[in-house]
Structure 1
Amino acid sequence: MQVRVTVLCENSVASPFGVVGEHGWAVWIETDAGSWLFDTGQGVGLRNNAAVLGVDLAQAQGIVLSHGHYDHTAGLPTALGEQDGSVQVFAHPDLFLSRYWKKEDRQREIGLRYTRPYLEGLGARFDLATGFRAIAPGIYLTGEVPRTTPFEPVDPAMKLRDADGCWHQDPLLDDQALVVDTAAGLLVVLGCAHAGLINTLQHVRASLPGRPIHTVIGGTHLGFAEPAQLEATLDHLDSFGIRRLGASHCTGLANGARLAAALGDRYFFAAAGCRFELG
């Protein structure tokens, strides 16, 4: 399978001609099995950047949401508004949980901004599942990623609040990646990798045995990692034989630079406007 990837939304900008940046993530993926929108950013730049980059969002065969945080889902009404009719939206059942970022006495709501009935009124047909699955020939969603590594903890600032007002750790079980099986190898498109970059890649390898992972692109959540986690991640990355890693979004500038120094030519910054082909 041939695939063409265009980054529509990201914190930084690679293209100098009208593309805007935002704290968010959205990727347009063109394949032999149709075109797919993976995440939607905050909704600030999606429509503008799609127009500047020549992407017709109305051609989306489906929309995939990596998890239920606002910086990946708030552009969903914009994306739905570009469709000629209803469209499937693939996600995890935890998509609509009420989510927060909380540190000490500071807190902020960070979940999906819209209700399911509102989005369905705009044409969303939600397809919610927890397991690894094919959504088209050669295109897969990882579903829930097993947490097996000892060095990739759940972010302690991610919280849920129950009906009594009590706070609980958000396990972010809905964190998932999209995988495209190309002639060159697997393309893995991450959202934020809240489940851990290595956990995610191990799950992909176990789910599609014998297929090499060629390119990984997206948020790695390493921007919040302690130095020991980053070092352990780098140690384990070599075992996958990845040819290219395009880290972005929640990777952070400092740890993104460290990844670039460690990986050399295998690394690239996947900013808004970045475009490449594989297969």
Structure 2
Amino acid sequence: MQEKRLLYKMIFDVGSSNYTFIHNSNISGSNLSDVNSIVLSHWHYDHTGGLYKVLEQIKDEVQIICHEFAKSERFFRRSDEIKITSLLGKTRLEIFPLLSTSKIVNQKPINMKKIEDLNGNIVFNKKSYELLNINGFRIIVAGEIPRIHHIEDFKTFCLLQDDVIKNDSILDDKCIILEYEDKAILLTGCCHSGIMNTLDYIKSLTDKPISHLIGGFHMANASNQRIKKTIEYLMTFQKYKNPLYLFPIHCSGEKFLHELIRANSPDLKPFNASVGTVFTF
């Protein structure tokens, strides 16, 4: 039997500032000290809040791959009284009263000095990025994902750019492709770009059929029409002899998982994954 050896170790998102990722890593016995790369799917606090604490666990210099939007302050609505359109075009000073009353909350930009002090090496990428290519196996980080399917559009987030509040399309939303000789596995963070947009884009990065789709699908608040169209797309977007295995977690929503199961398609095999699930390919 051929002895197994570690080729590469990466972390895809680091959880929120409550350090749940560190806690779960410790419980599972995962060693973080020899991590090669950290990939951040997008600069939202529930995916990046544990970054500095994770870096403290890593002994050598570690590569951090993210988008330049990590350098922008972001804002999240926490009151139904506030409409995103009422914030656009204003300065930070003008919206400060809303911040002080927590009607909106903010996420600070990435702290470059702290990253440097913790031995992190940041790579800002807009285009796809190949992390590993060895023995027929590739790890590819997506670049900016084109928005083609308008049903997946949204206008619910904003960020500060050029000292003005602007609509945030979350162009930093990215995914990871694990490409084998005969298939590819897709890992998503939140999939703010939309599942259909993401899978269309992935076709430009790999010619292998997608066998597994794992992660957040951002369908928790999707309309019935969008859910229906997405499921139809998943059943037809590729020709592959095996079914597509789906593991919608995080922001995917129970309704979407329920509708996937109810579709009862031989081309789709949805599962309800949980913390601690281990995948072996």
Q: In the alignment, is the contact (CA less than 8 A) between 1:215 and 1:244 conserved in 2? A: yes
2:8 equivalent in structure 1: 34
Report whether the alignment pairs 1:94 with 2:65. Answer: no
Distance change in 2, residues 1:62/1:277 (3 Å): same
Tell me the secondary structure at the aligned position of residue 178 of structure 1: strand
Distance change in 2, residues 1:204/1:163 (3 Å): closer
Q: Which has the higher contact order (CA 8 A, sep 6+)?
A: 1
1:260 equivalent in structure 2: 261
1:196 equivalent in structure 2: 194
Q: In the alignment, is the contact (CA less than 8 A) between 2:34 and 2:58 conserved in 1? A: yes
Aligned partners of 1:162 and 1:59: how far apart in 2?
Answer: 36
Count of residues in correspondence between the two structures:
245
Aligned partners of 2:199 and 2:29: how far apart in 1?
Answer: 31
Aligned partners of 1:112 and 1:212: how far apart in 2?
Answer: 39
Tell me the secondary structure at the aligned position of residue 59 of structure 1: coil
2:215 equivalent in structure 1: 218
Aligned partners of 2:195 and 2:252: how far apart in 1?
Answer: 11
Aligned partners of 1:167 and 1:31: how far apart in 2?
Answer: 48
Offset of 1:98 from its aligned partner? 0.8
1:160 equivalent in structure 2: 159
**Greater strand percent: which structure?**
1
Structure 1 unaligned residues grouped into runs of 5+? 1-29
Letter in 2 for 1:161: L
Q: In the alignment, is the contact (CA less than 8 A) between 1:67 and 1:92 conserved in 2? A: yes
TM-score, normalised relative to structure 1: 0.81
1:135 equivalent in structure 2: 131
Tell me the secondary structure at the aligned position of residue 211 of structure 2: strand
Q: In the alignment, is the contact (CA less than 8 A) between 1:69 and 1:112 conserved in 2? A: no
Q: In the alignment, is the contact (CA less than 8 A) between 2:72 and 2:161 conserved in 1? A: no
Aligned partners of 2:5 and 2:188: how far apart in 1?
Answer: 17
1:173 equivalent in structure 2: 171
Output the aligned Cα RMSD: 2.2
Aligned partners of 2:204 and 2:264: how far apart in 1?
Answer: 24
TM-score, normalised relative to structure 2: 0.80
Q: In the alignment, is the contact (CA less than 8 A) between 1:87 and 1:125 conserved in 2? A: yes
Structure 2 unaligned residues grouped into runs of 5+? 83-102
Offset of 1:243 from its aligned partner? 2.1
